[in-house]
Chain A
């Protein structure tokens, strides 16, 4: 696990555990260090413990064990309202009995800020999310996207250094979600705030974050920048969870430094990069991204191992072609090719030979 520990950590989870019922740990031994200004996304399936981590950071849940530190100070015993952390909720949580401006003014009022200062800040925050004209409206009169902008402005208006977002875009439609993803990242970088963002949408995680923490079973499975996460998953779960992935199972035949040869269960040999395997004879699950599979022999090294594949289905998707193959007994093997003039459109029933560069094929834990 790549964890950059150090004194410059702004948010720090130190061996944090959480149990609700005293029998099962929802969060198991969480260690996480975030520098100031980072946009970190907690990604994982539901029940993986990511929201619990966020709630512990916000102060709505207490850690069963371990320390959570903010700017070097333990906040375990500080009530939520004194933590000064902005938070955006999935259902927006805009107060329905207040107007938009009153909603934004609320955190300033409870901080006993003067009226003129409050109004100036509210106006600035509204302008920041392009909602300047909506101050007098009630939340119910706004659309979902507008409400989420207001919720964002409210979490930022009192200028917190850390903002937590709990699946803030979950209830919006795809197009709006993409626009807001872009805006949120832009805003976060502009203001230099530290953001912890929780989502179960991997595209969101990959496009927005500086680093992504993939949660499963109460643990961080991998913490890495998006490109690393996608291209170099460290275990089968991350490989499966992030993006589309082809999996082949087999036994490690031999390891030669940076590459290894894996004998698939059907007897075929392939090249791979050993990640989670230590010795010949280990069972392994090999992962290859669909877009890294090649059937144009010119692009493969001459000594590369290849597999025979039968084309089952060809799907035209506009920008790409998606072809389903039967490879080594498995018929869910998918390859993606760019829609370019020189790319051959495969026909169902056709038999081709496929291969890949050893570094694109990762031998992971079984």
Chain B
């Protein structure tokens, strides 16, 4: 013992480590070969591949299930937070024309934008999409919803100016069949006639005459839109339908811009030439003024700025809204003080989740300690009491707290009876933060106790005995020896409780009142009441990012390896 050979302890048990593996002859002369002459590595991979494949097939059902039911919906929801195609899809022409407009100049957009708007809204109201767009843009600018609804009702009248003039010029233009004959190929006309008689199979899709499309591009495009809509969206017989008013407007436009109708032959050629000669004398429509007549808000620059800002297919608008900012022509800016809400809600959610986690630790630690140190029989019995809340409906438990904590409730009554509080100053324990914290601490407590218990179960009592035999008092033994070893349990429980509470919804909704609600309640409001799914998705995405960020920070500070759920 006195001769201090440092290698002493090692010679018994450390012999295997640190020594280079004996080299074989094959190792010196190239890669190791298996018995069949292949490289050993390849053989090993081949042998393992089957096992891996079989293992993959075993977990494949679950993997697919998780992907389909968990990852995909979340991804879709998150996608909604930036998706904004509704504006460019509903107003394709307007957004294209508006792209070059400079809103800062203080002037309303040029007439061509209003003309495009007329067509877009006309088609949109036929498809009944204009109200949806209205409510979408209403999130950004109040009043847009009614503006679109009103405009949808009135666009019909605007185009009829041209329709009436064409029809007055020649009765030919009144009839949808004449239009079909003029615009469609003869083959299609035969097909549609045949189909109209027996109605077997699907309606033959409309085929445009190429000559017409070349001479009257705008008319052809508009008519094609009309035909597609009638055939595939309304599923009516195109042969019996009269064209929309905008088809006449388009025709007026084509003719006005000097279409070469003389080159056309076939049905309607003469009527076209007649109309081409007459359009110069037609009364024209000033769309700019017309929209102003519908609603003077159309001459409000802010409306157009909003439409322009939200024209792109993807927008950061929802995310800016989620952090109490908004898009403006000068870039993102804070919303006015009285409209700020979300940051405060996020902070409150984080703060209250921390308080709840803290009180769960304070209440759960002693319980877990007792459970871990009692004889198995008693511990199992008590464990049932801990688990009992799991088997009771969340709603029932929360409602019970509502009964307990209200002003005339059990807790207040007891306090008054004990003389701790006066009858006229009963404590407000519910419909505020206190209520949410009390109820959620109770509900989440098992999630703290269970990991703590399973970690404490693995700490042998001999550690405490050893500490005491070495001279530590009960407190020192606990604090220096037992507590550090239970930290992984606290970590696991805290992560569970914190992450659960940060997204909690039902309990704050019921007992939280106005000051005790979480960001999740706001998300639920936007999903089910205001139907602003984009904002809800953005709030959810931020919440997810915050949780992941905290998880990352936790890993950096505490180390995720130190988290134990048991064993």
Contacts and interface: CB of A to CB of B under 8 A. Distances in A.
B469 interface: yes
The 10 closest A-B pairs by CB, nearest first: A107-B470, A93-B466, A143-B13, A87-B469, A130-B8, A80-B468, A93-B462, A97-B484, A110-B472, A81-B468
Interface stretch (A10-18, A21-29, A183-191): A183-191
Interface of B: 1, 4-6, 8-9, 12-14, 460, 462-463, 465-474, 476-477, 480-481, 484-485
A290 interface: no
Contacts of A84: 471
Interface in A130-152: 130-134, 143-146, 149
Given A93-B462, A130-B6, A146-B13, A107 B484 contact: no
Given A97-B484, A97-B485, A130-B6, A85 B13 contact: no
A176 B14 CA distance: 12
Nearest to B469: A87
| Residue with the highest number of chain A CB atoms closer than 10 Å, among B1, B472, B481 | B1
A86 interface: yes
Contact of A132 (B4, B467, B472, B480): B4
Given A85-B469, A146-B9, A179-B12, A106 B480 contact: yes
B462 A145 contact: no
6 contacts: A87-B469, A91-B460, A110-B473, A132-B6, A143-B13, A143-B14
B1 A130 contact: yes
B461 to A, nearest CB: 9
A106 B460 contact: no
A106 B467 contact: yes
A263 B300 CA distance: 128
Contacts of B460: 91, 93
A60 B466 CA distance: 10
B6 A91 contact: no
A72 to B, nearest CB: 21
A60 B464 CA distance: 10
A156 B555 CA distance: 39
B300 to A, nearest CB: 68
Interface string A40-63: 000000000000000000111000
Nearest to A130: B8
A110 B465 contact: no
B96 to A, nearest CB: 67
B462 A89 contact: yes
Nearest to A151: B466
A215 B470 CA distance: 27
B481 A95 contact: yes
A115 to B, nearest CB: 16
- The prevalent SS among residues of B at the interface is helix
Contacts of B12: 143, 145, 175-176, 179
A190 B14 CA distance: 28
Interface string A88-103: 0101010111000000
B13 A60 contact: no
Interface residues of A, number: 45
Contact of B472 (A60, A97, A106): A106
A93 B4 contact: no
Interface of A: 58-60, 79-87, 89, 91, 93, 95-97, 106-107, 110-111, 127-128, 130-134, 143-146, 149, 154-155, 158, 164, 175-176, 179, 183, 186-187, 190
B16 to A, nearest CB: 11
B484 A145 contact: no
A183 B12 CA distance: 14
B465 A149 contact: no
Nearest to A187: B1
Given A81-B471, A106-B470, A146-B13, 7 more contacts: A81-B469, A81-B470, A87-B466, A87-B469, A93-B463, A143-B12, A154-B470
A58 B484 CA distance: 25
Contacts of A93: 460, 462-463, 465-466
A130 B471 contact: no
B459 to A, nearest CB: 9
A80 B9 contact: no
B210 to A, nearest CB: 83
B1 A190 contact: yes
A325 to B, nearest CB: 39
Contacts of A83: 469
B473 A81 contact: yes
Contacts of B468: 59-60, 79-81
A186 B2 CA distance: 10
A60 B481 contact: no
Contact of B469 (A58, A149, A186): A58
Contacts of B5: 130
Contacts of B477: 81
A130 B472 contact: no
Contacts of A134: 9
A127 B485 contact: no
Given A60-B465, A95-B463, A158 B470 contact: yes
Contacts of B1: 128, 130, 183, 186-187, 190
A143 B12 CA distance: 10
A88 B516 CA distance: 54
A144 B471 contact: no
B469 A86 contact: yes
Interface centre among A87, A131, A149 (most CB of B within 10 A): A87
A124 to B, nearest CB: 11
B9 A110 contact: no
Contacts of B4: 127, 130, 132
Contacts of A127: 4
Nearest to A190: B1
B18 to A, nearest CB: 13
A55 B395 CA distance: 51
A107 B5 CA distance: 26
Contacts of B471: 81-82, 84, 107, 110-111, 158
Contacts of B481: 95, 106
A130 B9 CA distance: 7
Contacts of A144: 13
